[in-house]
Amino acid sequence: MTRSELIDAIALKMEISRQDAAVAVKAVFDTISASLTNGNRVELRGFGCFGIKERQDRTARNPKTGVSVEVEAKRVVFFKAGKELRQRVDV
């Protein structure tokens, strides 16, 4: 599902305009992004949680050429599905 499809689905389900649904979706995504940027975890009960993991410096290998490449340390976003979501998907 794309962002546009999500907006359409929310507008239809909540019986609101597409513009109002777009504002709501943008607000939710902006809030989650801001929280993750500040190093906080975002937990949505029944859905899952978003968090940040620290990756260390490492030496990787380019699979095409076989040349070793240094990869810098970085922070990456991860998502862990909640129990209710896992059960719904695993029907």
Residue 21: how many CB atoms within 10 A of its CB? 19
CATH of domain 41-91: 4.10.520.10
Burial status of residue 82 (CB atoms within 10 A of its CB: 0-12, 13-18, 19 or more): middle
Going residue by residue through the chain, which has 91 residues, state the pLDDT in tens, using 9 for 90 and above: 999 999 999 999 999 999 999 999 999 999 999 999 999 999 999 999 999 999 999 999 999 999 999 999 999 999 999 999 999 998 8
Residue 29: how many CB atoms within 10 A of its CB? 12
Residue 76's closest CA among 49, 50, 42, 44?
50
For residue 91, the model assigns a pLDDT of: 80
Q: Where are the domains of the chain?
A: 1-40, 41-91
The answer to whether residues 46 and 80 touch, using CB atoms and an 8 Å cutoff, is no
